[in-house]
Amino acid sequence: MSSPHDKAWSDFWARNRQSGQDGGCLPAKWQGIDAQQRAAWYRFAQLLPRNARVIDIATGDGRVMAWMLSKRRDLKLQGVDMAPELPDPPKGTKFRAGTTMESLPFPEGKFAAAASQFGFEYGDVALAAAELARVVAKGGKIALMTHRIDGPILEHNLRRREQINWVFETQDLFATAKRSLAARSAGLQLLAPKIKHCPAEGARLFGQGSAAWEISEAIRRTMIMGARQHSVHVAQTLDMIADQARNEIGRIASLEAACKQTSDETKFLQALEKGGLKQSSIEAVVEADSSQPFADFRILSHS
């Protein structure tokens, strides 16, 4: 059975697919980050032997595999992810959903290399390292792109969490909407002033397109468009919006925890060593138009 945490990531990838987004946890204005990620994986792909089998840990939508395959058509790429549901894999690759990095269903030495972008640090590092050390053949290459606690990805998502909490806690907007629905039973059809005005206030405080504006506007539209619908159906739509927002809060919490894992470099390296891996190199990854690193690119090998 999948956990709420796993479902949060399934929902995240599903929404990305439906909206056509390709930026992971970042807005479109940071496409320079995407370009630097792609370049790092292009370089790694060129290091691998011909026809190498590669496992991509926490594959998500499979973008790392797609990038690598675009440079090396001979690679045999297998993605795994704990999310119980994933989008369709990129052509020429395979997915295995509902699979944790701490318990990989593959024999010893099956892969010549392993990759993970913003995934490995979400798990139990020592256990995940031990599994990679087991399924990657001796002498194989392992590359990780890991989050930084001082990077723009966490910064952006913490702001979104603040905005979501503004809707839930400061404005108590979902409860206000439910009270408005209850008032309908008494024949009162007026829309609560808070529901009318919160989208504009959210935009003023946090910006147009912010989570504060986005969610409060979704609530406002649901109430207006549902004026002639049965209250039960309107309540179900409100619950769906609230569940998606809570899932995002859960996803951001897991992102924050992952950043904390890599922020203590000594502890992180010790966990790798415990699992049978050692770090050969680490390189800060920086967007072309910024001096602020957003990730670290690590090359590991068997210890």
Based on the fold, state whether residues 67 and 171 are members of the same structural domain: no
Based on the fold, state whether residues 249 and 282 are members of the same structural domain: no
Rounded Cα distance, 204 and 83, in Å = 36
Predicted confidence (pLDDT) at residue 271 exceeds the cutoff of 70 = yes
CB 240 within 8 A of CB 247: no
Helix, strand, or coil (residue 124): coil
Based on the fold, state whether residues 231 and 294 are members of the same structural domain: no
Based on the fold, state whether residues 104 and 188 are members of the same structural domain: no
Q: How confident is the model over 159-170, as pLDDT tens digits?
A: 999 999 999 999
Q: How confident is the model over 111-170, as pLDDT tens digits?
A: 999 999 999 999 999 999 999 999 999 999 999 999 999 999 999 999 999 999 999 999
Terminal Cα distance for the chain, rounded: 35
CB 294 within 8 A of CB 287: yes
Based on the fold, state whether residues 96 and 138 are members of the same structural domain: yes
CB contact set of 275 (below 8 Å; sequence gap of 6+): 125, 126, 127, 128, 129, 130, 131, 132, 133
Q: Which residues are registered as beta bridge partners of 116? A: 57, 144
Residue-range definition of the domain harbouring residue 10: 4-151+258-302
- Write out the two tokens for 21: 């987004």
Q: What percent of the chain has pLDDT over 90?
A: 81
Helix, strand, or coil (residue 58): coil
Residues making up the chain, counted from first to last: 303
Residue 19 has what pLDDT? 47
Mean pLDDT of 235-257: 96
Higher pLDDT, 92 or 24: 92
CB 302 within 8 A of CB 138: yes
Based on the fold, state whether residues 72 and 180 are members of the same structural domain: no
Q: What is the CATH number of the domain that holds 12?
A: 3.40.50.150
Q: How confident is the model over 73-90, as pLDDT tens digits?
A: 999 999 999 999 999 999
Q: How confident is the model over 159-206, as pLDDT tens digits?
A: 999 999 999 999 999 999 999 988 877 777 678 999 999 999 999 999
Based on the fold, state whether residues 110 and 28 are members of the same structural domain: yes
Based on the fold, state whether residues 125 and 27 are members of the same structural domain: yes
Q: How confident is the model over 15-30, as pLDDT tens digits?
A: 554 444 444 456 555 6
Rounded Cα distance, 48 and 51, in Å = 8
Q: What percent of the chain has pLDDT over 70?
A: 88
Residue 291 has what pLDDT? 84
Based on the fold, state whether residues 124 and 30 are members of the same structural domain: yes
Mean pLDDT of 276-294: 92
Predicted confidence (pLDDT) at residue 216 exceeds the cutoff of 50 = yes
Based on the fold, state whether residues 185 and 129 are members of the same structural domain: no
What's the structural domain count of the chain? 2
Indicate left, alpha or beta for 17 from its phi (over 0: left) and psi (-120 to 50: alpha).
alpha
